[in-house]
Structure formats: C-alpha cells, structure tokens
Chain A
Amino acid sequence: MGEPVLSVRDLTTSFRGPQGWTPVVKGLSFDLGPRETLAIVGESGSGKSVTALSLLKLVPAANGRVEGSALLGGRNLLSLPEGEMCRIRGNEIAMIFQEPMTSLNPVLTVGDQISEALILHRGMDRVAVRAESLHILDRVRIPAARERLDEYPHRFSGGMRQRVMIAMALACRPKVLIADEPTTALDVTVQAQILDLIRSLQDEFGMGVVFITHDMGVVAEIADRVLVMLRGDKVEEGETARIFTGPAHAYTRRLLAAVPTLGSMRGEAAPRKMPDFTEGGESAGPSAAPDRSPAYHDEPLLEVKGLTTRFEMRSGLLRRVSGRVHAVENVSFSLARGETLSLVGESGCGKSTTGRSILRLVEPLSGSVRFEGREAIGMGGAQLKALRRDMQMIFQDPYASLNPRIPVGRAIAEPIVVHGLAGRREAEERAADLLEKVGLEPGMATRLPHEFSGGQRQRVCIARALALSPKLIVADEAVSALDVSIKAQVLNLMLDLQSSLGLSYLFISHDMATVERVSHRIAVMYLGEIVEIGPRAAIIENPQHPYTRKLLSAVPVPDPARRGTRPPLPAEDLPSPVRAPDFVPPERIWRTVSQGHLVQEPS
C-alpha cells in the first residue's frame, strides 16, 4: 500500500442520551490506500454506519460529538469548518447509501441531480455539464443513457437508481468513496452487477473505497482488507484472505461460522442446523439433523393447483383496466407434513403474494388451495377463521409485525382467547410457556415490543404464530432483516420447532444460502411462475432452468479464493410482470429431470 489517501486516528463518536454521552464508535483507527477497498464489517449497532457519517461530518451537532482525526490529502476533516467541509463532501470524498429508492430527489430529473454536483464543485457551464453527466451515466453502464438522462427517478428500478447514485458520487472523481450497505436492499443478481461496477470503476478512477456491509459474502467478493467492528470497537483488521482463512478474534470466527455458504450442504437431503455460537464462547457445534423426516407418503398437508393472483391497474378518466400485474400465475405445488418448501426468487417475482394468497390475505383470482383435503378458496366466515388456526405467517420486519402498544404477552395470548381455546388467565400462562419455547424469559411478557431487539421480536412473532398450534407456517423473509448470528439462532429455533412439533414451512426467501440450509425442497419463482421445483440437492447441484442458474451464480460466496470466477452479468433489469389487459399467459411445458425435479421449458 502506498501513501494512504485517508488516514483515520482515534475516531470516537458519542451521542447524547438520557444518561449522558454514550460512545458509539470507540477510538477507531485505520488507513485507506489508493485503489484499495476496505470493508468495515459488523452487525447492527456495531457503529459501522456512524463511522461513515462521522468521516463526512454528517453526525448531527446537536446531540453528537466526533473526536479524533481523519486526514484526507493532508487536511483533518474532523476539524474543518462546515463551509470548507461542504466543498470536500461530494468532491473529494463521496458517499452512497443503502436505500436507492429514497436517496434521490423525486422531482428532479436524473440528469439534473448529477449535474448539480458538477456545477457546484467544478464550476462547469451547462453544455459541458450535460456532456459530462452523459459520460458518467455511460460509465455506470446505464443502458440508453442519453434518453434516460432526462427521466425522473421513479422510472428507474432499484438497481438502476443505485447506479445513478454511484454516478452522482463519482461525478467529481472523489479520492475516497464511502459505500454504506450499497447492495443490501438490492436483489442478488442486481447486487452482483453493482459489485462488479464498483470494482471496475475503482480501477478506472483510482479511488479508495470504504465498503460498509454486514454480508461476509460481499466482503469476500470485493474487499482487499477487512475491519471487523463489535459494539464500537475494532476487534480485528487484516487482509481479506487472512481474515477468512485464519480469523484471530473469537467474534470474527463466530461471524464467519454463522454465515451460511451456498453449496455447503452437498449430498445431504435434510436441513441442518447452523453451528450455534452463543455470546461468550463457542459452545455447541453443528447439531444433528432434525430426527423427523417429512411424511411424503401421507396425503399432503397443502396442495396448491393453478393458483393465480392478478392485480388490476386502472388509469384514465373512466378508470378502465389498463394493465394487470400477473403477480402469481398458475402456481402449483404440494407440501407434506413436516416438510419445508422454499419459494425463492427476486423482488417482484410473486413469492410473497403466493404466500399471502394461500393464507387468503389477498384474494386469488383462480386456482385451488387444498389444506388437509379441504378447499380453502371460497371459504368464508367461521370456516376461514378455523382455517387460520392451522396456517400462520411470520413476516419479514419484526419491527412492523407487532402492535407497538400491546405487551408481547398479551399479543401472544390474544389469538388463543379470540379463538376461544382458553380463558384469558390460561391463555396468559400459555403465552409464558410459548415465550420459553422460543427462548425468551416468561417474565418478558409484560414488556412492549420496542423493549426487544430485532431477533427477540422475531421470536415473539414466532411464539404468536405458534399460539394456535398451527400445522403450516408461511415464513415470508422471516430472517432476512436479522443480523447473521441472530439469523442463525432464529433459523435453528425454526428447525427445532419443526422437529418437535412436526410443522410444515413455506419458507419464502431471496437468500439462496439460507434456503439451502433449511429446506427439503425448493421452488424457484420468476415473474409470477414457478420455473423449477424439486428436491433441494437437485436444484442447487443440478439447476436446469437458465434463471435458476443465473440466480445461483449471482450469490456471493464467502470465500475470497473464489473471487472473480463468476462470469460478469450484463446490466439489465428484471422484466416487469405488468401485462396488457388482453394478455393470455402461454401454455407451459414441463420436463421431468429426475424424480420430483421438474423444470419449465424456457419459452
């Protein structure tokens, strides 16, 4: 490493709370060389994002305090006055954020937003700015850049918006780019494209990149060096390969062990628990596979045939149907007792709508959902209420899926009372039992949801779903919002509950590595249709459909040795499932690859 472009020493950031100043970043020091990528890794609350904000002096002065030094080109950023900092921000040091959907101003065209930085920092005139903006948009490989320059952000997909964000950040050729979870909100194939882009732009522009992420797979893909943070402290720093092969600190080892690796389950049929590293030491190793295997020979618990859900889009004065979102199109599958079927696919592929249609949270247009032999579509009133005892759902966002004003004990007891299974007192006792069952203290029943962490809340949600002793749980991205180590614990809990209660899961996820870990069978969804379905091993090891292959190859592998072996993906968006009102879905032909492994013939 040559002369570092950014040199941070003893960075300490504190926030004022009710109990005085609390340090969130404690004495962090690191160097960033030119053309180097430093990944800052840690779980939520480790202070990695605050580090980024501190370097840009974006910490609110009213209740935040930044100490230490950050030298960029010989100047200490942290002691510069605000006016001078404004000239540096976006010019010499730039940042891209996690949420591409909200980081762009919706009322300005993309071209205007890119030009703004150029006019501000480089004093270009209109004509030059336009040429330069177009050039940058080309550089971030946005197809048809000339036409898109005058479009508004809402016309861009998430991946394309992130490209625009990158274009804005790079407009003034900064020496340092800080990327705060830039790909976390994106689909895996889009993530792969953006990572490729950042890497190649880094070579072109010769800038240093601070890449903040929680995803070890992404780290292995992109980082030269890794800095691991835990609760505001740097616990380890080193070359990426060294961190992955010989992590020195126990926390790094725990973090790495908790990451599910795609392809790690070769030759195994049943799901396997994650190694359980609890706080304080590596206690239990990988536990045995769940002892109960799915009851394939009995009548399936759930049989879905030809399920179709469409949403109408109306426009114009007469509110005529101008198009339909074919969210779920002719989806069929069955689920045995005690089995986990995963629905995987990227955003907008209809996997969530499939789950919701089965639970009748949205009304399907046609098709049949048989649950224990009974037809669920068209059920009403009391029958539907009875059906809902047997099917439950766990949602993605544990912050949004609990009523903020109801203590968790009552939230868990409520369904028991509503369904008349027990009186209030007995229901509350059962709630306490359920809390214990999901690994929480029964005494926590009187607490409100905001007094719990994300992982604990997700446990509460699981306890509430279990309150009615359901047979099927639809888990819609149930662990996607959780930190890796918490994710492992919640997944293990779900697997334990499956083996002790014989639950069936419909596991909806975009995360292939997690899916591999937990499922017996996998169904891959694309544009509302299942394109490939089969036993887990068959799908992962012998994918047939081109989309399945693309999806699998885009998954970042937490192994730096395998970096660069992946063919680059072209910059393109997922096609849209919106169709004209008179669109008739084509007949699909299915091919049997092996027993139970079916693939749709690509049209």
Chain B
Amino acid sequence: MTHAVLPGAPRGALHAMIRVFNVNKTSWAGLVILLAVIVIAVFAPLFTAHDPLAQDVTRQLSGPSMEHLFGTDEYGRDTWARLIYGARVSLAIGIASTVIAMLVGSSIGLLAGWYGGRFDAVMMQVMDVLLAFPSLILGLVIVAMLGASTPNIVFAIALTSIPPFARIARAPTIALKEREYVEACRSLGYSDARILLVHILPNIAAEIVVMGSLWLANAIRTEASLAFIGLGIKPPTPTWGGMIRSGFENILDSAWLAVVPSLAILIVIFALNLLGDGLRDAVDPKLKNEA
C-alpha cells in the first residue's frame, strides 16, 4: 500500500522478470548462455566465413586450426560452421515442439481440471498411457512410422512432452476452481472460457513457463538422440545429434567431431536447467505470498 504505483497497465513485466532473476542469481548465467547461443544460431553467417555444406576433399578430418577452429569432418566441412548452423535446427525443433506441447498440454490440463468428472478421468488416463512410454521409444516409433521429416520429429517430441504440461496445469486449476474469486466470477455471469483464460491461466502461467524451460532441455536432448540413432533430419543438413553420430565413426582419431557437438548440447541443457531452477525458485515463494 505504501509503494507508489506507476500509471499504465502492464506495469513492470520487465521489473518482475528482473526481480525473479535476482532471487536466484545463477539463473542469470543460464539466461546469458542461452541468449548467446540463440544469437549465434540466428546470426550464424556473421560468426563464420565457411559454408556448413561446402565439402573440401583436401581437408578431410583436419584437426583444430586457426582456419578451422574445431577442425573439419570426413568431407572436409567446417565443424564450427556446422555446429552453429546445426544449432538453428536443434533449437528450432526443440522450441517448436515444446511450445506445441505447452499449448496442447496446458489446455488439456486446464479443461480437465475445470470440468473434472469423466472428461478429466479419460484425459488423465490418456496422459498416463503416454507417460508410460519412455519418450525416446515413443518418438522413435512415431518417426519410424511417419518418416524423418522436420514436422514429424516436432510432432513426435511434442506428443511425448504433453503429459507433464497437462499435469502441471491441472493441479492448480483444481485448487483455483475452489477459490472464492473464481466463484465470484461465476456469480458475475462470466463464461467458462473467460474464467479459464482471464482468471485462471495467468495465475498458473508462471508454473507452466518454468516447466517449459525444463522440458525444452528435454526436447533438445530427444531430438539429438533421435538424430544419433539415425532418425533425425536427413543429412547433409547439420544437426547436433547428426554431427555426434557421424563424428562417432571417427571417435578414435578425430575425437573433436563428436565431442564438440556433445559439449554444445551439454551447455544448452545446463543453461536451461539453471534458468528453469531459478524461475522455479522465484515462482514458488511468490505464489505463497499471494495465496
């Protein structure tokens, strides 16, 4: 009550972000690493002079040098160029599938939590069945059946990531449904859609976003795993998983070919986990204060 309120509606979204990150300082590190990776991937041509697809038979399997920072592969392609162009594919597939899973999963969770009853029971059974499959196996089956195209891979990864979002959305929806302010909304004659979207979703969005950042790491790992077992994006398009797969064949004499993309995956997943943990720490006490 004492602190002044800035005029204008969406007050301090940025402020809130900063406050959130200050709760857990390591999440800053996660955010910085992640942003750096995204910037390098998006502006890849600025960070390398090489074409990731250009083969050079004179420079097969050459070690790291000033010319080729991380050396070249068996076709003489520049590993650094392939790494940062590959980041585009890996990140795009990871982000796309996580966003889809987030939208579909939290919609299912919201509706199941709100309407309850048979719909809830059936939906949650379906989610349990999905969860029962290891995500890699399920993704493998889907890609093997539908073919290894980008949309199919996104679909496969998204499908395996839906259940956690459905669960994380459902539980707080059930709790909020009983809150007096939701009851007040009903007595004011608001439609279910309005109550769900305007009054419940914003109150559970933080938890879904935290979940999203943690599952993005998982999606990137699944994509790499699928590519590693040969069900990823078809060569010659560079992906991190594909690079590890082809690098693996020369692991004894040209170890950098497999190690460099593995490290890239490690760093991104590490950054995402730092970010996710930080967000979770920030979200938890806040919800307690407002409850």
Binding site for B on A (CB under 8 A): 356, 359, 361, 384-386, 388-389, 391-393, 395-397, 400-407, 414-415, 418-419, 446-447, 450-453, 461, 464, 468
Once A418-B194, A450-B290 are accepted as A-B contacts, the answer to whether A464 and B184 lie under 8 Å apart by CB is yes
Once A400-B179, A403-B203, A451-B5 are accepted as A-B contacts, the answer to whether A384 and B189 lie under 8 Å apart by CB is yes
19 contacts between A and B (CB under 8 A): A361-B186, A388-B188, A388-B189, A391-B187, A393-B187, A395-B183, A396-B180, A401-B180, A401-B181, A401-B184, A402-B184, A403-B181, A403-B185, A404-B290, A414-B190, A418-B194, A447-B5, A451-B5, A464-B184
Tell yes or no: B285 within 8 A of A by CB: no
Interface residues of B in 221-241 (CB under 8 A from A): none
15 additional contacts, CB 8 Å, given A388-B189, A402-B184, A415-B189?
A361-B183, A388-B187, A393-B187, A395-B180, A395-B184, A396-B180, A397-B180, A401-B184, A404-B203, A405-B202, A406-B199, A415-B188, A446-B5, A451-B3, A453-B1
Residues from chain B with a CB closer than 8 A to the CB of A393 are 183-184, 187
Tell yes or no: B7 within 8 A of A by CB: yes
CB contact between A385 and one of B1, B9, B189 (< 8 Å): that residue: B189
Residues from chain A with a CB closer than 8 A to the CB of B194 are 418
Q: Which of B1, B187, B194, B203 has the most CB of A within 10 A?
A: B187
Task: Count B-side interface residues using an 8 Å CB cutoff.
Answer: 25
CB contact between A451 and one of B1, B188, B191, B289 (< 8 Å): that residue: B1
The 3 closest A-B pairs by CB, nearest first: A388-B189, A401-B180, A395-B180
Residues from chain A with a CB closer than 8 A to the CB of B189 are 384-386, 388-389, 415, 418-419, 468
Question: Cα distance A464–B184 when bound, in Å?
Answer: 9
Residues from chain B with a CB closer than 8 A to the CB of A404 are 203, 290
Interchain CB contact under 8 A, A392 and B183: no
Interchain CB contact under 8 A, A418 and B202: no
Residues from chain A with a CB closer than 8 A to the CB of B1 are 451-453
Residues from chain B with a CB closer than 8 A to the CB of A419 are 189
Question: Cα distance A72–B199 when bound, in Å?
Answer: 52
CB contact between A400 and one of B181, B187, B198, B203 (< 8 Å): that residue: B181
Question: Cα distance A393–B190 when bound, in Å?
Answer: 14
**Bitwise interface map of B from 1 to 31 toward A, beta carbon under 8 Å scored 1, else 0:** 1010101010100000000000000000000
Interchain CB contact under 8 A, A402 and B181: yes
**Bitwise interface map of B from 191 to 234 toward A, beta carbon under 8 Å scored 1, else 0:** 10010001100110000000000000000000000000000000
Residues from chain B with a CB closer than 8 A to the CB of A386 are 189
Interchain CB contact under 8 A, A461 and B5: no
Q: Which residue of B lies closest to A398 (CB)?
A: B180
Summarize B's interface: helix, strand, loop or mixed.
helix
Residues from chain B with a CB closer than 8 A to the CB of A403 are 181, 185, 199, 203
**Bitwise interface map of B from 110 to 135 toward A, beta carbon under 8 Å scored 1, else 0:** 00000000000000000000000000
Interface residues of B in 80-110 (CB under 8 A from A): none
- Chain B nearest Cβ from A447, distance in angstroms: 6
Q: Which residue of A lies closest to B289 (CB)?
A: A450
Residues from chain A with a CB closer than 8 A to the CB of B11 are 446
Question: Cα distance A468–B184 when bound, in Å?
Answer: 13
Residues from chain B with a CB closer than 8 A to the CB of A453 are 1
Q: Which residue of A lies closest to B182 (CB)?
A: A403
**Bitwise interface map of B from 250 to 278 toward A, beta carbon under 8 Å scored 1, else 0:** 00000000000000000000000000000
Question: Cα distance A140–B179 when bound, in Å?
Answer: 36
- Chain A nearest Cβ from B140, distance in angstroms: 38
Q: Which residue of B lies closest to A476 (CB)?
A: B180
Question: Cα distance A349–B179 when bound, in Å?
Answer: 21
Q: Which of A389, A404, A414 has the most CB of B within 10 A?
A: A404
- Chain A nearest Cβ from B57, distance in angstroms: 61
Residues from chain A with a CB closer than 8 A to the CB of B179 are 400-401
Question: Cα distance A384–B202 when bound, in Å?
Answer: 27
Residues from chain A with a CB closer than 8 A to the CB of B289 are 450
Question: Cα distance A384–B189 when bound, in Å?
Answer: 8
Question: Cα distance A464–B185 when bound, in Å?
Answer: 10
Residues from chain A with a CB closer than 8 A to the CB of B202 are 405
Question: Cα distance A433–B183 when bound, in Å?
Answer: 24
- Chain B nearest Cβ from A478, distance in angstroms: 11
Question: Cα distance A272–B180 when bound, in Å?
Answer: 29
Residues from chain B with a CB closer than 8 A to the CB of A359 are 187
- Chain A nearest Cβ from B1, distance in angstroms: 5
Interchain CB contact under 8 A, B184 and A405: no
Residues from chain B with a CB closer than 8 A to the CB of A446 are 5, 7, 9, 11
Interchain CB contact under 8 A, B187 and A418: no
Q: Which residue of A lies closest to B179 (CB)?
A: A400
Q: Which residue of B lies closest to A453 (CB)?
A: B1
- Chain B nearest Cβ from A146, distance in angstroms: 38
Once A389-B189, A403-B203, A418-B189 are accepted as A-B contacts, the answer to whether A461 and B184 lie under 8 Å apart by CB is yes
Residues from chain A with a CB closer than 8 A to the CB of B191 are 418
Residues from chain A with a CB closer than 8 A to the CB of B199 are 403, 406
Question: Cα distance A445–B237 when bound, in Å?
Answer: 55
- Chain B nearest Cβ from A425, distance in angstroms: 13
CB contact between B188 and one of A400, A450, A464 (< 8 Å): that residue: A464
Question: Cα distance A404–B7 when bound, in Å?
Answer: 18
Question: Cα distance A396–B194 when bound, in Å?
Answer: 24
Question: Cα distance A385–B185 when bound, in Å?
Answer: 12
- Chain B nearest Cβ from A471, distance in angstroms: 14
Residues from chain B with a CB closer than 8 A to the CB of A395 are 180, 183-184
Residues from chain A with a CB closer than 8 A to the CB of B5 are 446-447, 451
Q: Which residue of A lies closest to B194 (CB)?
A: A418
Question: Cα distance A468–B186 when bound, in Å?
Answer: 14
Q: Which residue of B lies closest to A446 (CB)?
A: B5
- Chain A nearest Cβ from B291, distance in angstroms: 8
Interchain CB contact under 8 A, A361 and B187: yes
Residues from chain B with a CB closer than 8 A to the CB of A407 are 9
Q: Which residue of A lies closest to B8 (CB)?
A: A446
Question: Cα distance A402–B203 when bound, in Å?
Answer: 12
Question: Cα distance A401–B199 when bound, in Å?
Answer: 12
Q: Which residue of A lies closest to B11 (CB)?
A: A446
Question: Cα distance A168–B216 when bound, in Å?
Answer: 51
Q: Which residue of B lies closest to A391 (CB)?
A: B187
Question: Cα distance A361–B203 when bound, in Å?
Answer: 22
Residues from chain A with a CB closer than 8 A to the CB of B187 are 359, 361, 388, 391-393
Q: Which residue of A lies closest to B200 (CB)?
A: A403
- Chain A nearest Cβ from B283, distance in angstroms: 13
CB contact between A405 and one of B183, B186, B203 (< 8 Å): that residue: B203
Question: Cα distance A396–B185 when bound, in Å?
Answer: 15
Once A447-B5, A452-B1 are accepted as A-B contacts, the answer to whether A400 and B190 lie under 8 Å apart by CB is no
Residues from chain B with a CB closer than 8 A to the CB of A396 are 180
